Amino acid sequence: MFSKILIANRGEIACRIIKTARRMGIATVAVYSDADRDALHVEMADEAVHIGPAPAAQSYLLADKIIEACRATGADAVHPGYGFLSERESFAGALAQAGIAFIGPNAKAIAAMGDKIESKKLAKAAGVSTVPGFMGEITDEAHAKKIAAEIGFPVMVKASAGGGGKGLRIVHKDADLAQAIVSSRNEAQASFGDGRLLVEKFVSEPRHIEIQLIGDRHGNVIHLNERECSIQRRHQKVIEEAPSPFLDDKTRAAMGAQAVALAKSVGYDSAGTVEFIMDGKKNFYFLEMNTRLQVEHPVTEMITGLDLVELMIRSAAGEKLPLTQKDVRIDGWAIESRVYAEDPYRAFLPSTGRLSRYRPPAEEARDGIAIRNDTGVYEGGEISVYYDPMIAKLSTHAPTRTAAVDAMAAALDNFEISGIANNIQFLTAVMHHPRFREGRLTTGFIAEEYPEGFHGAPMDDAQRRAFIAAAVAAKILRTQRAGRISGALNGGHKVSDNFHVTLSGKMHGVTDAYLEVGSLHLVIDGVAMEGVVDWYPGRTQLKLKVKGDETIFQISREAGGYCLSQGGRERLVSVRAPQIAALAAMMPMRPPPDTSRMLLCPMPGLVVALPVQEGQAVKAGELLAVVEAMKMENALVAERDVTISRLRVKMGDSLARDETIMEFA
């Protein structure tokens, strides 16, 4: 067994690997860039080595720096995590030459299966069903157009190397193909150092289902069942679960057998994942193989009871698998939600900055429900523009799918994050969505259910009354506390029992409001309501129990009321005494500034394309600029016909959110 492992990665996956290595009694070495000097994985590891500037291409993607760090610290093995160098054959080869073990598959398997083009050819030769498309690398735009014409739109332009949605575009018409190729190639080159692309048919109404494999260096390969990864946005997985609510035992066995046969054909060892696309009739087609640990591996671990990182380490050390296919089980159901630094109310644009508050739900196993949180951040830490926007991976495990989904919804309501935008409300809304709860999933779920973007989960009458009750309770408790301040004039503040409450632009009358020792009574629009409140001013969570059902709100003080979040909904609820509400109604409203003659940067990022000039007339739909943020390129197009009057930025500029890029005449 290895004595010291270097983790050639960062963030949550580096922390995850350190935990298993520590449990196995193996020392760990972290590597870090300038941006990660104070990162959690650096603090957790036994040793840490600085490897360069913030951009990944100047630090985490430099194999020589990793090998130097191994030599300097005496590390005898490297775990690459996922992304970065994890699927690079040359890196595995360089480690072997240096006498350092690679905790991953052998270089031959990486070369064969890590390349989407070659792996598709091998899959077809092995009798695995494959998606229609061109079996090779596209040479230029004309070549891509020829392939698209043969197989028909829509098509997928995708990077040959890597994964995670980087370098992948769905193209619905010929006119969009050229820009898709440019953006996909740029993203692939920046993320993986490999700009090769392929084109294949996009299967309509697809499910994304993948088979987890584990092998050893003695020829043994088994599958660890499937994961359903159909909830995606921009081809980036958002929510995963195991098992799939769609598969039956027969289909699961067939997919597993094909995945194992494909892996054995290339002598595969270590952890790997064979990804399939499946239609509504359970026909499945090979997409690609990821020759590494997957982001979503926790859900497989939770239903099988296995530690995939440990199995990888033991395989790399030459040990045989400790189980056979018949030993693999499915115990209950697991759900994983990826918590991202992005704003779901602003088209999921990335967010960067300091985590002024980071309080995840407690990791525990109780009453048949388990909660796990894989993270690489901490309160007070920074979310950088240079890397993936993931904050954490929250997972729940329960005996049934419904119980796991309910547990996830509750855990998300308990997750406190402030300082940066995040997608927790969106994730919670999905947990409550009827279609998701029924398991009717496709990779188009988000686009189909939120075609105009995410604006919060809908609110029924009972939920509306709960929001009102929570805000009124907070108002009463704050006023009661103010009344107890010693030396206050006129005996302090009198607690009113009547309020005017504004929620979503509608006024509600509250009467007979009373709160004492946690017991709340009030009448909302003529309907009486009673409950129990657990909150005091300054806390960020308010608990309201009505008829035995408890609801947890995230709460913050706002002018005239409170900002409340729960169940995928965020509302500003103003609570005023009647006389104050009458005065507030007479206050003039300041209109927002007119930005119709400007192009504003929608997220912090770097200007990587600026194809227009001052004085140029641009038609609606034409490209104005491309901004790169967190390894993704975002094309900004004209919403109407405009003429560029002034360019406020230049290529290579680093921009803040809402910074002006250009002005229109």
Is the pLDDT reported for residue 242 higher than 80?
A: yes
Structure confidence by residue, pLDDT tens digits, 548-561: 999 999 999 987 78
Under the banding of pLDDT at 50, 70 and 90, the label for residue 487 is: low
Question: Which top CATH class is 105-130+204-331?
Answer: alpha beta
Question: Which top CATH class is 598-664?
Answer: mainly beta
502 closest CA partner among 486, 525, 522: 525
Structure confidence by residue, pLDDT tens digits, 126-167: 888 888 777 678 888 899 999 998 888 889 898 888 666 788
Cβ atoms of 101 and 316 closer than 8 Å: yes
pLDDT at 67: 98
Burial class (CB in 10 A: 0-12, 13-18, 19+), 587: exposed
Q: Is 288 a catalytic residue?
A: yes
Is the pLDDT reported for residue 492 higher than 70?
A: no
4-103 against 598-664: fold identical: no
Q: Which of 288, 296, 301, 336 is catalytic?
A: 288
Provide the mean pLDDT of the chain: 92
Calpha distance 83→94 (Å, rounded): 18
**Four-CA torsion 423, 424, 426, 431, nearest 10 degrees:** 140
Which residue in this structure is represented by tokens 């632009």? 505
Calpha distance 390→351 (Å, rounded): 10
Cβ atoms of 631 and 190 closer than 8 Å: yes
Is the pLDDT reported for residue 116 higher than 80?
A: no
Q: Identify the residue with better confidence: 204 or 436.
A: 436
4-103 has which CATH code? 3.40.50.20
243 preceded by cis ω (within 30°)?
yes
Structure confidence by residue, pLDDT tens digits, 277-286: 998 889 899 9
Q: Is the dihedral of CA 119, 122, 127, 133 positive or negative?
A: positive
pLDDT at 295: 97
Calpha distance 57→604 (Å, rounded): 19
Cβ atoms of 7 and 86 closer than 8 Å: no
Q: Does CATH place domain 132-201 in 3.30.1490.20?
A: yes
Structure confidence by residue, pLDDT tens digits, 26-75: 999 999 999 999 999 999 999 999 999 999 999 999 999 999 999 999 99
Calpha distance 513→479 (Å, rounded): 13
Query: Where do the domains of the chain lie?
Result: 4-103, 105-130+204-331, 132-201, 340-448, 461-584, 598-664
Q: What is the mean pLDDT of residues 405-430?
A: 96
Is the pLDDT reported for residue 605 higher than 90?
A: no
Structure confidence by residue, pLDDT tens digits, 287-317: 899 999 999 999 999 999 999 999 999 999 9
Q: Identify the residue with better confidence: 85 or 487.
A: 85
Calpha distance 212→441 (Å, rounded): 20
Under the banding of pLDDT at 50, 70 and 90, the label for residue 448 is: very high
> Which pTM value belongs to this model?
0.84
CB atoms within 10 A of CB 651: 10
Q: Which fold has domain 461-584?
A: Glycoprotein, Type 4 Pilin (3.30.700)
Cβ atoms of 252 and 243 closer than 8 Å: yes
Superfamily of domain covering 340-448: ATP-grasp fold, B domain (3.30.470.20)
Cβ contacts of 311 within 8 Å, gap of 6 or more: 214, 271, 321, 322
DSSP single-letter state for residue 130: B
pLDDT at 581: 84
Is the pLDDT reported for residue 495 higher than 70?
A: no
**Strand, coil or helix: 459:** coil
Q: Is the dihedral of CA 42, 45, 50, 53 positive or negative?
A: negative
Under the banding of pLDDT at 50, 70 and 90, the label for residue 490 is: low
Cβ contacts of 89 within 8 Å, gap of 6 or more: 107, 110, 111, 114
429 closest CA partner among 465, 456, 395, 451: 456
Under the banding of pLDDT at 50, 70 and 90, the label for residue 491 is: very low
Structure confidence by residue, pLDDT tens digits, 473-483: 999 999 888 87
Cβ atoms of 391 and 363 closer than 8 Å: no
Q: What is the mean pLDDT of residues 77-86?
A: 96
pLDDT at 494: 54
Residue 109: C-alpha distances to residues 105, 114, 217, 268 (Å): 6, 7, 12, 6
Cβ atoms of 537 and 398 closer than 8 Å: no
